[in-house]
Chain A
């Protein structure tokens, strides 16, 4: 008997959507004690499948055909009351963002207790023991303290453990995990994946694991189902799919995953110095009315050098200070100490007027393509904004915008259109064109490809690489993703807790990491054992 059987499932989208069905004729199953990974890019319908199983589909979507069976019980058209009984007892779900999955005004212990109270008739004492047991089982330290804590008092990884504890406290047969580690740092992700594997093995839970990350797939899956625009294009055992993908879409996806091997491009060691920071530091201090000021040292003593035509990567987890450094260099925030030398001139303490002529030498591309462009301005207006600020005549600026769009491989007709008419990848190209319109010497990419699907990410990375070579730019590349860093960087600085812990040529950092933090970071990178990016070449 399978835990979950999905047969010929079709889910209709409301009329007027870009396609008729969110999910079309998808069939697969999850056996007892099995982990099935549902992989796909954004819009592939993978989350919709999870929602349909849990009975949590948005009102605008409906199951058009097919059946969903949980432990041989057809729940496709089950009543809300029956679904409520099944949730938590036979199937549960873990969401991407643990902070929003937990109630911020309830203690963690009470939230787990709520599940027990609704679905079991255990006494208060029994429930208390059960909560302590499950907290210990998800390997949270000091269970008594955790139970009495509110979600905001815990770290992201701890919160996700609480969510997992809630999901598994009644030992459901099916666990649906919807991108449960996407919002977490790579070291935390590794721990959570290990925990899910352990618990799943111990309880024989069937897991439907939704992810976009092939590294995670390689770590955790028994079987893999690949979705593309609502259709199941490939289903098979993990090694089969990852090593010998049959469908060309799967091949493309796996081929687009960057390898962890550094590219080993030769660099000119004596090119002109574009960026140099000396003792750069940023301290945020919060002055209260009472008591001493609270200080947060976001970055300390950062010394970096970047030469023309080279790419320097800053790698680190969230809160490591890598974005702070980037924003100090672009002078979106003012450094508290140290120097930022752009082509020799220190800009760290320049006033707004003196800074103006130097601004154009440093441009930045942000992470979120959906928020990086003013929704009320055409693409053309966005690209020419900078040159207009520096006195370029409008016609000339527009002419250059056209050439830049060509450079980032977009049609010139895009000039007249608004950002919402473009996909994430296209918007990121527009942002790159906007930055290039200033003819910068240094391009800062702050997690510029992190929000993109893997295939789009590969294209944008290639584009950045091309532009850097063609225009002989210096590029500062901020990322949390080691694979991306390996692909583009010549030099890498690893940051942790506001400090650069290791800094050197990419080859050396990737192949012979010295600092224990760097080693831990590599250790945690999902799917290390798999040689991604080469699979497509061999088939």
Chain B
């Protein structure tokens, strides 16, 4: 099917529309964070600790000035504005989610293509992937971040590594099917070099399932990043991420639930939106699903 026609069908799907609009909204929020009535998320004020949502209080800027500020979502035990931290946290979550998905897809596609087309490499590469899959994803991520110190790059790499075997397996299985297609055999008979067959014939026909896998990886990465931060093994606690905010608020959850509640809502909505988008993509791109609808 031609790309244009496919995109049209994708754009008409309700799940895709809902998921994509929520994600677009989140991206807008992330980009426009400084102009959404926020203050620098690292600012704190000893006088404004543990404020309830909607209360006003003082906040001290880096220059030492004291400003009046309305704490829309309350403040934490250091007197930081939770609203600002949640909004800025969107940036971290989206960057981690998208970067992880892209990294896992890129490496997974490379390994999958090699494994599916070069038979001698298949056994070695796939046993290695099996090895990675045998270790729980979170455990690998925790170990790697602990090893490298928390930064966006290490977190992304740490979450991507356990995802790579999944993508590799998917690509390999697709390659094994597509390489038997007559159009690939025709290309062989036409003297097309292996490299061109892989990237010109096989990979473009793997794209639909990969796109779906990518969305699920993205959602998973956002969750894992929050989990790592919550466990205190992700990004340093002063970086505003949803997981860090929740970890911070955990100690006084009973008296001040908003510390956990608001970042939790953002996390849940974002992950849900990405998953809905993925479901919609699968429904429209997978011919087997399309027939059933």
In the assembled complex, A212 has its CB within 8 A of some CB on chain B: no
Complex formed: what's the CA distance from A362 to B191 in Å?
A: 11
- List 26 A-B residue pairs with CB atoms under 8 Å apart, sorted by A's residue number: A332-B185, A356-B191, A359-B189, A359-B190, A359-B191, A360-B191, A362-B189, A366-B182, A367-B182, A372-B182, A372-B183, A373-B183, A375-B1, A375-B205, A377-B200, A385-B192, A386-B192, A389-B190, A389-B193, A389-B196, A418-B1, A420-B2, A421-B2, A434-B190, A438-B190, A438-B191
Complex formed: what's the CA distance from A385 to B188 in Å?
A: 11
Question: Is there an interface contact between B186 and A376, defined as CB atoms closer than 8 Å?
Answer: no
Q: Write the chain B residue with the least CB distance to A357.
A: B191
Complex formed: what's the CA distance from A448 to B204 in Å?
A: 26
In the assembled complex, B17 has its CB within 8 A of some CB on chain A: no
Q: Give, as a whole number of angstroms, the nearest-CB distance from B209 to chain A.
A: 14
Q: Which of B160-213 contact A (CB under 8 A)?
A: 181-183, 185-193, 196, 200-201, 204-205
Question: Is there an interface contact between B189 and A330, defined as CB atoms closer than 8 Å?
Answer: yes
Q: Write the chain A residue with the least CB distance to B194.
A: A352
Q: Give, as a whole number of angstroms, the nearest-CB distance from B9 to chain A.
A: 12
Complex formed: what's the CA distance from A434 to B188 in Å?
A: 13
Task: Tell me which of A373, A375, A385, A421 contacts B190 (CB under 8 A).
Answer: A385
Encode B193-236 as 1/0 by CB contact (under 8 A) with A. 10010001100110000000000000000000000000000000
Question: Is there an interface contact between A376 and B3, defined as CB atoms closer than 8 Å?
Answer: yes
Encode A334-376 as 1/0 by CB contact (under 8 A) with B. 0000000000000000000000100110111011100111111
Q: Give, as a whole number of angstroms, the nearest-CB distance from B87 to chain A.
A: 41
Task: Tell me which of A363, A375, A382 contacts B189 (CB under 8 A).
Answer: A363
Residues of B within 8 A of A372 (CB): 182-183, 186
Q: Give, as a whole number of angstroms, the nearest-CB distance from A323 to chain B.
A: 11
Residues of B within 8 A of A438 (CB): 190-191
Question: Is there an interface contact between A374 and B183, defined as CB atoms closer than 8 Å?
Answer: yes
Complex formed: what's the CA distance from A370 to B269 in Å?
A: 42
Q: Give, as a whole number of angstroms, the nearest-CB distance from B202 to chain A.
A: 9
Complex formed: what's the CA distance from A129 to B107 in Å?
A: 61
- With A366-B182, A371-B181 as known contacts, state yes or no: A332 contacts B189, CB within 8 Å: yes
Residues of A within 8 A of B192 (CB): 385-386, 389
Interface residues, chain B, with chain A CB atoms under 8 Å away: 1-3, 181-183, 185-193, 196, 200-201, 204-205
Q: Give, as a whole number of angstroms, the nearest-CB distance from A63 to chain B.
A: 21
| Best-surrounded residue of A359, A385, A438 (most CB of chain B within 10 A) | A385
Complex formed: what's the CA distance from A425 to B83 in Å?
A: 63
Q: Write the chain A residue with the least CB distance to B201.
A: A374
Residues of A within 8 A of B189 (CB): 330, 332, 359, 362-364
- With A366-B182, A418-B2 as known contacts, state yes or no: A332 contacts B205, CB within 8 Å: no
Q: Give, as a whole number of angstroms, the nearest-CB distance from A483 to chain B.
A: 24
In the assembled complex, A118 has its CB within 8 A of some CB on chain B: no
Complex formed: what's the CA distance from A420 to B4 in Å?
A: 12
Main secondary structure of the interface of B (DSSP, over half): helix
Main secondary structure of the interface of A (DSSP, over half): loop
- With A366-B182, A372-B186, A434-B186 as known contacts, state yes or no: A420 contacts B1, CB within 8 Å: yes
In the assembled complex, A390 has its CB within 8 A of some CB on chain B: yes
- With A332-B185, A364-B186, A371-B181 as known contacts, state yes or no: A376 contacts B191, CB within 8 Å: no
Complex formed: what's the CA distance from A389 to B193 in Å?
A: 8
- With A371-B181, A373-B183, A434-B186 as known contacts, state yes or no: A390 contacts B2, CB within 8 Å: no
Complex formed: what's the CA distance from A140 to B136 in Å?
A: 53
Residues of B within 8 A of A373 (CB): 183
Residues of A within 8 A of B3 (CB): 376
Task: Tell me which of A363, A371, A385, A421 contacts B182 (CB under 8 A).
Answer: A371
Q: Give, as a whole number of angstroms, the nearest-CB distance from B173 to chain A.
A: 18
Question: Is there an interface contact between B186 and A366, defined as CB atoms closer than 8 Å?
Answer: yes
In the assembled complex, A325 has its CB within 8 A of some CB on chain B: no
| Best-surrounded residue of B2, B3, B182, B200 (most CB of chain A within 10 A) | B182
- With A371-B183, A418-B2 as known contacts, state yes or no: A376 contacts B190, CB within 8 Å: no
Q: Give, as a whole number of angstroms, the nearest-CB distance from A327 to chain B.
A: 8
Residues of A within 8 A of B196 (CB): 389
Complex formed: what's the CA distance from A434 to B181 in Å?
A: 16
Q: Give, as a whole number of angstroms, the nearest-CB distance from B255 to chain A.
A: 55
Complex formed: what's the CA distance from A268 to B2 in Å?
A: 46
Complex formed: what's the CA distance from A372 to B182 in Å?
A: 5
List 5 additional A-B contacts (Cβ < 8 Å) besides A359-B190, A371-B181, A374-B183: A363-B189, A386-B192, A390-B191, A418-B1, A434-B186
Question: Is there an interface contact between B204 and A368, defined as CB atoms closer than 8 Å?
Answer: no
Q: Give, as a whole number of angstroms, the nearest-CB distance from B274 to chain A.
A: 26
Q: Write the chain A residue with the least CB distance to B185.
A: A332
| Best-surrounded residue of A374, A389, A418 (most CB of chain B within 10 A) | A374
Residues of A within 8 A of B190 (CB): 359-360, 363, 385-386, 389, 434, 438
Q: Give, as a whole number of angstroms, the nearest-CB distance from B12 to chain A.
A: 13
Q: Write the chain B residue with the least CB distance to A444.
A: B189
Residues of B within 8 A of A364 (CB): 185-186, 189
In the assembled complex, A445 has its CB within 8 A of some CB on chain B: no
Pairs of residues from A and B, 4 with the lowest C-beta to C-beta distance, nearest first = A386-B190, A366-B182, A418-B2, A372-B182
Question: Is there an interface contact between A376 and B193, defined as CB atoms closer than 8 Å?
Answer: no
